[in-house]
Amino acid sequence: MKKSVKRSLLTAGMLIAVYILAGLVSSSLAEENYPLTVSVITSVAQDEERAHRTYIAYSLKAAEENYPGIARLFIALATSEAIHAANFRKILSDLGVSEVKREKNLIKVGSTRANLKKSTKVELNEIDKKYPGILEKIQPENHEEAMRFITYAWQSEKQHRNLLKKIKSGTGIFFNLLAQKIEDTDADFIVCENCGSTLVELPQERCPICFESVEKYKKIEGAE
């Protein structure tokens, strides 16, 4: 092998080693400077990805049971959760944290009635306990983007609660009547691609959560 080729290979190898070392150092510094933030954001990224997959499964079940309106609602929630997960992954990437394993736990799917009831319970827990606790935990490290994205997710979950709240009381004996009412309204759901805000009507000028232009909202068409 010619010396020039050997020299090129050696140089390439050294560069790869430098890049790997730089990544390890960056990750180490991130965990040293923002240990709570890295830990929390890693966890909530996985939670949001799991929520995304759960709502997709619930949407397919609703469509199967001939509730297209409720299927669209679940797709809207799934879309919002995916945006939250992507925002959290961006934080980890910016901090130089190596790729975090993506969980593939089995999703348990019941009837649409049961899925709505469970969803409402989960959303209420996130609003009342999960996100307020997370913000309090990472506040001392003052990572502004992490706190901003957590706040976006928290405010979006409040909107999810409002969308689900009117369904909660109907998950008993009046479910069929309420479900039919939802189907008859044929509501359109829209989601802000920046923060995950989930609404049924387009704001006049800006997203009420992240204050981006209403052009960031996309209409949810149906099960994907």
- Ranges of the chain whose pLDDT falls below 50: 1-3, 5-27, 170-171, 224
Q: What is the 3-state secondary structure (H, E, C) of the chain?
A: CCHHHHHHHHHHHHHHHHHHHHHHHHHHHHHHHCHHHHHHHHHHHHHHHHHHHHHHHHHHHHHHCCCHHHHHHHHHHHHHHHHHHHHHHHHHHHCCCCCCCCCCCCCCCCCHHHHHHHHHHHHHHHHHHHHHHHHHHHHHHCCHHHHHHHHHHHHHHHHHHHHHHHHHCCCCCCHHHHHHHHHHHCCCCEEECCCCCEECCCCCCECCCCCCEHHHEEECCCCC
pTM: 0.78
pLDDT in tens, 102-149: 667 788 899 988 888 888 777 777 777 888 889 999 999 989 999 999
Domains contained in the chain, number: 2
Q: Does residue 147 sit within a domain?
A: yes
pLDDT of residue 63: 92
> How many other β-carbons are positioned within 10 Å of the β-carbon of residue 185?
10
Q: Are residues 19 and 48 in the same domain?
A: no
pLDDT of residue 87: 95
Note down the domain range covering 8: 1-33
Q: Are residues 29 and 41 in the same domain?
A: no
Question: In this structure, are residues 180 and 149 in contact, taking their beta carbons and an 8 Å threshold?
Answer: no
Q: Are residues 119 and 16 in the same domain?
A: no
pLDDT of residue 166: 64
CA dihedral sign, ordered 5, 8, 14, 19: negative
Q: Does residue 126 sit within a domain?
A: yes
Q: Are residues 92 and 14 in the same domain?
A: no
